[in-house]
Structure 1
């Protein structure tokens, strides 16, 4: 037992020396290739065994022949393990270079394509993560490009929409100033109409800026969908009557909502005005409110004939008006963008889909918690 303990002590001392030298070597090559870093542990493992064996052999006074045999066996093992580690490190380095070249495409905007060659599990996991990141970056760049294009369109369209009434106002003001008209009252009425239209446009821009800045804070209160829809229909009735469009609200349930009454009234008003303008004379615009699960769905159905499939995803974009002509009464194309912003501020969602003869806008809002009446106490 004492001999075994002595052998263990000598072997530990020799192996410790090899381990210390290996640690120094690892520190020296920590910034070098992974192949070299993998070779160091292989050499240290065989070196520790050789150092321990030599220590024990020296203490036990083995013959020079036996010592040479042991040294030769350890040297061959060290060469084999080092070659194997270098081969493995070279494969890892080659896979790393392929992955590095593929990742360089991310900075060029070309997207990341994972190498087809087999890779270690860690590098394969990194390649999958880079693929996901590339997909998200591509989607983000597309959204940014679409948003920038929408902003440029909006600036151009707003400039046109502002230039026309301002030019008209200037011409009418000059005519009144020079006394070139025999109907000043008619000019005053026309100027008032143009000023009101400009005011509405500025108000829409201000509301949209609040929505995009995230500063739209609804004042939530318990309201009834029946009252909300009724007020919206009453407000839009003069416009519908003037254009020969029928307004109906037969499918409205008295659902409790927790929302900002003024903002939701604006949502329905924008949807109704949009539907009335798009519906031909003798057409019908229908409003409904129904319960779906724990949500209320307010729907506005028109007779516009439908929206092209490639335009459906742009309906709620800023500046979209569904037509290329920038002439009144189409507006500045902000109404539906404001609708989406207000609805999302209420933790709801808005969507549109085509139906036979027209399209259907749906606003989905969470229902307010219904109060359960308590039974009267008995004295």
Structure 2
């Protein structure tokens, strides 16, 4: 939503009228403005719904608007933070929560903007922490915090805490204000209530909102998955028994004892994952929230919500951990399949070497005799001479093929060597020629500079390019795949491009349905000191391979 850049770009172009500029801005940003308007309406409604759980001197102990804010930032990205803050300011101004006059306008405005800023910082910290751990441990998924479920879980817990902690320095930096909204109880109690309300609002409301967003944004409209009913029955029995025991202890005068619900929530989360954990939290909250909105004392209400928060945290993190472990197991299984495929390729290579050894000598003899036959029949009947020439060409073609296969299967491929890029690309194109014909697809290969050379293993890089070409052929919406090469600094850049339709599966999703071809290609390219990235634009997918040149030299891109 960068309106300033858009207006500057328009103003710097040809003469354009104000009406055209307004229409272009409206067409470009109407969806975002509509979402912000819907966000404002939902935020106002949820903010109003939190009033029954407020107390003397502390914030609402059940604040569902926090879940809406967190889901919007997590889904739409941190760049939307200023727009959310502006929307919340407008909502509070229109509802009277933010007085537009008086000495406390700046103080109250910053207090309203603080939560969105704290949430954005918490999400950035969770993602950054996961990225650093993933970089140290690799992409194996063995580190729980690096997976998406745990990133979401940690951010959901960190956001309310960071919001409460940011309250103190901002209050100290701002001029003091007096009035009915000033805090009259201890600061610790107030900040505890703030964190509890936001925490419960995020955990209860954000997961279903994010699930609905993924569902409606999915091109395939996959149904939302739920654990099987047979698996849920034991969890439902355990949850019901723990809720009954908690209520019984409460009525016996022992207060809110969270231990039974903690144990039940942990078991259900670890057993069934985040979805079942969320329904467990929803059931517990639905049981106790109406009671806590009644005529309770501030201390009793705060104590009850502390127990609710403990149950929600344990249950939610247990479900996140279970889903993370499932992701790690799936990744490990996929890598095992890759290793199995590598072993099969190794066996196939050994078999091909044996076959090549057996046919190379007879084929060499055939090529010699075919050449001799061609020379002896040159002055005979034209049909005989033409047939002899055809046999000679085919024999030489087979000999060249066997020579290349011997080079691929021999020990020389284990050692990198200077490899002209034009030879690598031509070899890869020949390998996918049958698939091009079968898919009725054409491959447009731009001229390759003959002096571009990389230091590589030919068979491995050929496999990488073949995998990328196969994905492009499968996904090409216009039955055309384009391949071009250029030099960028000390690197040779190979770009494979195909057009895609709105509902086409991405190239990384083709091939056994797991993107194994792209994973193998990336592994091979990175082993050669290069890099494989996907660079998309509307309607097109570009797979870009960068490889270091064998003899780096200066010059411009070709």
TM-score (norm 1): 0.40
Which protein shows a greater Rg? 1
Give 1 or 2: higher strand fraction: 1
Give 1 or 2: higher helix fraction: 2
Higher RCO (CA-CA < 8 Å; seq separation 6+): 1
TM-score (norm 2): 0.28
